[in-house]
Structure 1
Amino acid sequence: MKILFFALLAQLVFSLPGLAQQTQKPPLHGKHWMAITGKPLAATAGAITFQKGGNAVDAACAMLAATCTMWDVLSWGGETQALIYNPNTKKVIALNAMGVAPTGATADFFKRKGYNFPPENGPLAATTPGTPGGLMHMLANYGTLSLEQVLAPAMEMAAGYPIEAQTANSIEKNKALLKQWPYSKKLFLTHPGQEREAPEAGEIFVQQDLLQTLTKLVEAEKTALKQGKSRKEAIMAAYARFYTGDIAQEFVRGSTEQGGLITLQDLARWKPLEEEPLTVNYKGVDVYKLQQWTQGPAMLQGLNILENFDLKAMGYNSAKYIHTVYQAMNLSFADRDFYYGDSHAAPEEPIKGLLSKAYAKQRARLIQYQRNDPRIGPGDPYPFEGKKNPYLKLLKARGYEMDTTKRNFAPKHDLGNHSAPAEYQDRLWRGTTTVEAADQEGWVVSVTPSGGWLPACVAGNTGVGMSQRMQSFVLDPALNPFNVVAPGKRPRVTLTPSMALKDGKPFLSFGVQGGDTQDQNLLQFFLNVVEFGMTVQQASEAANFNTNQLWLSLGGSKTDDRKPKPGQILLNQNTPERVREELKKLGYTLSFGDRTSGPINAIYFDWKHGSLWGGSSNHGEDYGIGW
């Protein structure tokens, strides 16, 4: 009887997490500021910057610089995208600092080399670097400190910091690839010829080339200030040195030497862009995402679909709840896979129709409770913005049924097999980092930077790892006519910072790493807070589930590498047996993980008490500090 009692108690706690106040990591509390990111040292960089008198934008930039310097699944040559709440205008700003495909990067170029998608690694995987420009744009326009002050922690780390085991072991694991690129080999393999050639955990890892690059940026700022330039002009002088000066020249030389396509003109033409964020209202909460060059709108579509169901009555992670949310995510991701692309390049995506509440109702009616639908495909959002779909023939040629009175069918070659090998899961979960910052003045920043992760090809003597984001393009318009690679175009990426306002004031700022799972986990995190009343720490640690029924955005240069896996679902290992059995009866293939939360980082704004709550998942090395 005792065993039965405790088993039932465990199921009760698992199904009703609001009753379980204990979390593995404590919630963070702050009155003045909150700084959360992917590494403890980088969170400390944010805290240092706040203590200097900086605002949340300054702190976010310092954390971004530190995470890049620590190779936290990104580096300085990657890409940055951010949502910023400006308390003066009471508006959310969207920053697009995604690099673009370089000169010569065409579908025909990659097809001639035998690719179905651009490569995963190396110089041909690189878009133009966006993170330096994004950081300096944010700092110049919305920060308060100098570039020198904000870069100080990262520069000290570049001079030498104790490398953590995760990064050190990643270097060792990828050393065969790193040896292909001379500047990567020189930087990362600190013990050449030994059995372990990578640094050891705790070893002081020195990056002299990167330190020199960052020093040049600070020198450009100082020179401009001496010439009487304003703070903003001085920071943009540093920007110019990176994109048009001697740093740009060495970056391009190093890239070209190793077979890359990026030109000086590519760097000079690129600019970070400020955009209007996309938003939907879910039960009184305004949720903000970046535009459709990210996968962020898929979460907004999911919320629109799920608004048609009583999720709270289903119960947290009941079989019915899991099935309903899984189907809604499949519907949203099917649209993502076909309709999302660079909002600044032709053709124009039907985003107004995709985010229409009426379109969501139509999609919601496709959800059946008898069984998982393995044939979910993209819908037709064009009528919901008063247009005719120009791609009906293309969709039908792929095997989709677009008659709204019938089911949507996926083509046979999309269905794939039902196995999920470790390599596939690695591509599905492939991560980055997140940066969340807020201050008592009301500035809020959510960033999901990425690119230039290990194994990174370093561009010459800059110390800068080049992006690998080209792989998120397609070469075949039948897969997605909006996301075909072309020079000057941005790929449709998985990176997706999030923000929510309630009653016109900040409510949540949240982000997660993990490739195609990002908006799956963020959707569930948001529902955990709004529908089930969890704190941000509880919601950050709560058991999520993931669908593999989507086209992968990363990894594998062959079509077979990226096909959807219908019905595959990742569940937390604590999922009750009765829920498992019900899902099996619905046609799901189950796999399990011990932590399925993200890792998620988040800030909640407690207006009742005038304080900040921070949540940082127990999944990885993410860490936060509040004051």
Structure 2
Amino acid sequence: MVKKLKLLVILCSLINLGFAQTQKPPLHGKHWMAITGKPLGATAGAMIFNQGGNAVDAACAMLGAVCTMWDVLSWGGETQALIFNPKTGKVIAINAMGIAPTGATVEFFKEKDMPYPPEFGPLAATTPGTPGGLMTMLAEYGTMSLEQVLAPAMQMAKGYPIEAQAANMIEKGKDQIKQWPYSKKVFLPHLGEEREAPYAGEVFVQEDLYQTLKKLVDAEKQALAQGKSRKEAIYAANERFYKGDIAQEIVRGTREQGGLFTMEDLAKWKVKIEEPLSVNYKGIEVYKLQEWTQGPALLQSLNILENFDLKAMGYNSAQYINTVYQTMSLAFADRDFYYGDPDFEPKSPMKGLLSKEYAKERAKLIQEKNDPKIGPGDPYPFQGGKNPFLDLLEKRNESLAYHEPELPISGPEDPFLKQFQSGTTSIQTADAEGWVVSVTPSGGWIPAVLAGNTGVGLSQRMQSWVLDPVINPFNVLEPGKRPRVTLTPSMALKDGKPFLSFAVQGGDTQDQDLLQLFLNMVEFGMTVQEASEAANIHSYQMQSSFGAHEIKPGSVTLNSQVPAWVRTDLKKRGYKMDFQDRTSGPLNAIWFDWKHGTFWGGSSNNGEDYGIAW
């Protein structure tokens, strides 16, 4: 009897720690691995791998597939990626974020009495980035033709059984969709009936999109017939999309519906291949995209957390949650004020923000009770400079209306929460040669405006800019500029070799989930699947990048498994809590088992994400 009781106590402890048997089995592979937001998307990657493609080829095919199946994004959205090149041993950053079109100025939106650019519609759209991102990755680092990697997407555009999630999103958004004639034509096949959207499992046809993709393949074929190389032929297709007849229809159709795109906007836009940012956490090099994303906030968080013994606190203890929560508050407060497009002035003070010394100073601000007035710091002295925006910083802190509602979040359908966690998808691939790809594409989610007869859904990323420099002088809207986005793939190397490739959907919660997944593995020894399903926390003590850009200090979502004594402790510390059964992303990750020469794949139980491996 005593032995049974001891076993029961141990089992209960493991459940509370999140180490119980996972709801999804981990993926195991030796040759390749493909994980993304939908099973059909992962299948597209498997098809390419089985044809001899590498991880970049597979990631491009998966990107095309998930855009076609409207997995919370479309072809007119944006793509950002990290790629590990085994030939150089370096991590490469892909910036395929669109830009603000001509005429998209602060004055334009203020004249319309908009405090921020809109959430939906033609005026919410940055220029399309995903097609250029896909073709650039394929041309530079892939091995296959555009025709080969677009084959799954083209088959789907001809008709595929639509999933319930997308079909129901169309039905919910049909009143907005009806405002846009080209969207109405495609999305609402049962117009006038009680349900006007497709039914789950119904074959959903996108003939206009198919024709657009066929034009890209035709351009590639013509270039190859002229003796062009594989790479040159792919860029010929890229040229047709951004400067040819496809661009003309995108511009015509967008402007007809009230948008601002010009041919020059599309023609002058280019994908940027960049150096990623990185920090070292206990011997592991963690890589993120530059400060035009929120990615450096995770790096800042790791620098701050290095000053604490997290393992001794215990996984998801009140002390641990309090420390991680306030660390994220400090890092994201800096994100909210200092991050922006590095191609424009002023330049973000990234050297100071990512310095270990600055992190030590920020760590000193963490208290036993939560501080709802945590604000941005001053990183300039840590890079040998003087802050030119101290006056704006003071005004910002005074202007933010801090409020502490009793019930800040009312559940998954809460309008604030839906904005804060605005979706995307993530793509993870790896192969035996050593190529690794982590992508978080987004934009053009339902309800989306279709750009004329192209079948291309336009982005909604304009809303991530601010119009007032008091909020963030580095992220003020300008034509030609990229917004500071939430999209944030991640990669980590150990001893110069891939250790972890990871990404997640979920708007402003992305780097919160990614930080906790990383800590779950590094500090608490979880497997990648355990870490993907583990009970994360979500903070709202940072400014939302969407809608009205709200902030809810002290608000935290906890997993329903968090025990009563932790809840009581956190309440005493000043937290306003709500609870959800699943708080893990959905995260997707690949861990590299160098001891056995295999891949481990993790995909959380908080969504339809999953993968396939061999």
For Structure 1 versus Structure 2, the TM-score category normalised by the shorter chain is: over 0.9
1:551 to 504, 527, 543: 543
Counterpart code for 2:585: G
1:177 aligned partner: 176
Q: Distance in 2 between matches of 1:554 and 1:592?
A: 23
Give the drift of 1:429: 1.3
Separation in 2 of the partners of 1:51 and 1:398?
A: 54
After superposition, the C-alpha distances for 1:357-408 in whole angstroms (9 at most, x for unaligned) are 0000000000011x11011000000000000000011112234xxxxxxxxx
What are the within-5 Å matches in structure 2 for residues 489-500 of structure 1?
A: 489-500=481-492
Q: Secondary structure at the match of 1:500?
A: strand
Which of 426, 439, 443 is matched with 2:435 structurally?
443
Counterparts of 2:390 and 2:383, CA distance in 1: 16
Structure 2 CA distance, aligned partners of 1:607 and 1:317? 29
Q: Retained in 1: the 8 A contact 2:18–2:535? A: no
- Which residue in the other structure is 1:386 paired with? 384
Q: Contact between 2:372 and 2:402, CA under 8 Å: does it hold in 1?
A: no
Q: Residue 574 of structure 1 corresponds to which residue in structure 2?
A: 561
The equivalent of 1:288 in structure 2 is: 287
Q: Distance in 2 between matches of 1:10 and 1:574?
A: 14
**What SS does the corresponding residue of 1:287 show, helix, strand or coil?**
strand
Contact (CA 8 Å) 1:15, 1:315: kept in 2 or not? Answer: no
Counterpart position of 1:165: 164
Q: What is the distance in 1 between the residues matched to 2:127 and 2:400? A: 36
Q: Which AA in structure 2 matches 1:435?
A: I
Find the residue that maps to 2:210 and give its secondary structure. Answer: helix
Distance verdict in 2 for CA 1:436–1:161, change over 3 Å: same
Whether contact under 8 Å (1:14, 1:575) holds in the other structure is no
Alpha carbons 1:428, 1:515 under 8 Å: kept:
yes
Kept after mapping to 2: 8 A contact 1:372/1:567: yes
The answer to whether the 8 A contact 1:60-1:437 is kept is yes
Residue 409 of structure 2 is matched in structure 1 by 420
The code of the aligned residue for 2:373 comes to R
Aligned residue identity for 2:148: Q
- The one-letter code of the counterpart of 2:579 is F
How far 1:16 moved relative to its partner?
Answer: 3.2
Letter in 2 for 1:587: G
For residue 559 of structure 1, what is the aligned residue in structure 2? Answer: none
SS at match of 2:401: helix
1:534-581 CA distance string (max 9 Å, x none): 11110000010011111000123xxxxx23111111000011111111
In the alignment, is residue 534 of structure 1 matched against residue 526 of structure 2?
yes
SS in 2 for 1:177: helix
| 2:56–2:138 Cα contact (<8 Å) kept | yes
Residue number in structure 2 paired with 1:406:
none
Given that 1:15 and 1:318 are in contact with CA atoms closer than 8 Å, whether structure 2 keeps it comes out as no
Question: What SS does the aligned partner of 1:221 have?
Answer: helix
Preserved CA contact (<8 Å) 2:16 2:561: no
Q: Does 1:626 align with 2:613?
A: yes
Higher deviation after alignment, 578-587 or 418-427: 418-427
RMSD after superposition: 1.5
Residues 316-331 of structure 1 aligned to structure 2 (within 5 Å): 316-331=315-330
Contact 1:416–1:563 under 8 Å retained in 2:
no
Aligned partner of 2:395 among 386, 394, 397: 397
Identity %: 71
Q: What residue in structure 2 maps to residue 265 of structure 1?
A: 264
SS at match of 2:552: coil
Q: What one-letter code is carried by the residue in structure 1 that aligns with 2:374? A: I
After TM superposition, give the deviation of residue 417 of structure 1 in Å: 4.3
Matched, 1:563 2:564: no
Does residue 593 (structure 1) correspond to residue 585 (structure 2)? The answer is no
Does the Cα contact within 8 Å between 2:77 and 2:443 map onto a contact in 1?
yes
**Matched pairs, number:** 609
* 1:510 corresponds to: 502
* Structure 2 equivalent of residue 610 of structure 1: 597
1: CA distance, partners of 2:434 / 2:557? 38
CA contact (8 A) 2:73 2:441 kept: yes
SS in 1 for 2:591: strand
Find out whether 1:188 has 2:175 as its counterpart: no
Hey, what does 1:486 align to over in structure 2?
Answer: 478
Deviation at 1:17, TM superposition (A): 3.5
Task: Name the structure 2 match of 1:372.
Answer: 370
Which residue of structure 2 aligns with residue 361 of structure 1?
360
Q: Which amino acid aligns with 1:234?
A: A
Structure 2 SS opposite 1:413: coil
Q: Show the counterpart of 1:231.
A: 230
Gaps of 5+ in 1: 400-409, 557-561
- From the superposition, tell whether residues 584 and 5 of structure 1 become closer, same or farther in structure 2 (CA, over 3 Å): farther
Q: Residue 25 of structure 2 aligns with which residue?
A: 26
Q: Which structure 2 residue ranges, 5 or more long, are not aligned? A: none
Native 8 Å contact 2:404 2:554 kept in 1: no
1:76 equivalent to 2:65? Answer no
Q: What is the CA deviation profile of residues 148-171 of structure 1, one whole-angstrom value per residue up to 9, with x for unaligned ones?
A: 000000000000000010000000
Aligned equivalents of 2:122, 2:430: Cα separation in 1: 36
